[in-house]
Amino acid sequence: MRKKLLIPFYRTARIRHLYLKKRMKEMGLSGNMNMILLKLSEREACSQDELCGEVLADKASVSRDCAGLEKTGLIETKTDPENRRKSLVSLTDKGEQAAAEIRRVNETIAAVLLRGLSEEDRISLTRCLDVMEANAAGLWAELERK
């Protein structure tokens, strides 16, 4: 009997999520904190509203996670010099170190998941996942409109 396509996809994503959640807990992180740290490591600073779109989470969740990250000294909040009514969050040095550790964990996960795939298979898989992500973005946009 042929496996359904999305079952191994879902199981792989779920196992990755559970593994990452356990590793993040060991670092004192929860929720979307790891994604927030990674997104902030890719840019200077940004607003919490921008982070919501980046990590696909609601304002309350991002606000709660940012408060926890600020409490532990991983991020800092400053007033936007171009708009004094707006706040920007950015990584501290400690936050940069945490983001680097999260990248290492993600690289370990990727190495395990991709083990046994040829370079050609990896390129093909990447193309397929890019298409799936674009299609998923359409679903997300549909949800946002409702």
The residue extents of the domains of the chain are 23-115, 117-146
Residue-level pLDDT at 1: 47
Residue-level pLDDT at 85: 86
Which portions of the chain are predicted below pLDDT 50? 1
Residue-level pLDDT at 44: 82
| Alpha carbon distances (Å) from 10 to 4, 16, 107, 127 | 11, 10, 20, 18
Q: pLDDT per residue over 71-101, tens digit each? A: 999 999 998 888 888 899 999 999 999 999 9
* 86: CB partners within 8 A, 6+ apart: 47, 79, 80
Distance separating alpha carbons of residues 38 and 34, to the nearest angstrom: 6
pTM of structure: 0.85
**CATH number of this structure's domain 23-115:** 1.10.10.10
